[in-house]
Amino acid sequence: MSDNNDPARKVSAHVERKLAAILSADVQGYSRLMGEDEEATLHTLTACREIIDPLIHQHRGRIVGTAGDSVLAEFASVVDAVRCAVEIQQQLKAKNTDLPTQRRMEFRIGINLGDVMVEGEQIYGDGVNVAARLQSLADAGGIFISGTVYDQIENKLPLQYEYLGEQAVKNIAKPVRVWRVVMESEEVRSPRSEVRSLKAKVKSLVGWAPPTVTGCW
């Protein structure tokens, strides 16, 4: 006979799950900027958030959490999430032209589509973690998306994408397929050189670099 009073059963019964597009963003070199001028950095961050937050809402997203320079948001539509990310980077790039090069604030964005657990206003799980790992791999001013995102938006948006292979990321059991969104004025880079650069970044984050995936281009 099953025990309906088992605490484990009660916890599992109350965990809500859903599929969501998760956008994770943070500032490249934020510690350096703060170390050089805390007040100016906070002022610039506030100005950036005045761009980012309304765009998330305009694209039907919800800000889940913010801590320091980071922003975590969820979207019901992966198309909305990617459109939002592109507009964020475009507007921040324009904003940065008003600042000296060394004081510019460039965000890295990672987007994943995955299953998440919901508790109150917060979301948890590998779906969120993968988005955060993609963000940590992304270039300053860039957008990295997972294979699950690419599969959904491949032909839905007038964008170019660059495949960077499967990457082993920290605390995620399976390698993640990584794509880079090619922004306006950017060129598609040499896949081989881009993967070498990405592998070096992965190694700096997790302590080792995965083998090169062949036959992807």
pLDDT digits over 75-113, tens only?
A: 999 999 999 999 999 999 999 999 999 999 999 999 999
Tell me what the mean pLDDT of segment 3-18 comes to.
62
Tell me what the mean pLDDT of segment 102-131 comes to.
95
Own/partner pairs, 155-159, CB within 8 angstroms, 24+ separation: 156/79, 157/79, 157/82, 157/83, 159/82, 159/86
Render pLDDT for 155-184 as a digit per residue (tens, 0 to 9): 999 999 999 999 988 888 899 999 999 987
- In the prediction, which pLDDT does 36 show? 95
Contact yes or no for 149/83 (Cβ under 8 A): no
Q: Is 64 helix (H, G, I), strand (E, B) or coil?
A: strand
* 201 pLDDT tier (thresholds 50, 70, 90): low
Interior angle at CA 148, CA 145 and CA 154, nearest 5: 75
**For the chain, which domains are there?**
16-206 (3.30.70.1230)
* 131 pLDDT tier (thresholds 50, 70, 90): very high
Report the predicted TM-score, pTM, of the whole model to 2 decimal places: 0.81
Q: Is 115 helix (H, G, I), strand (E, B) or coil?
A: strand
Which of 87 and 1 is assigned the larger pLDDT?
87
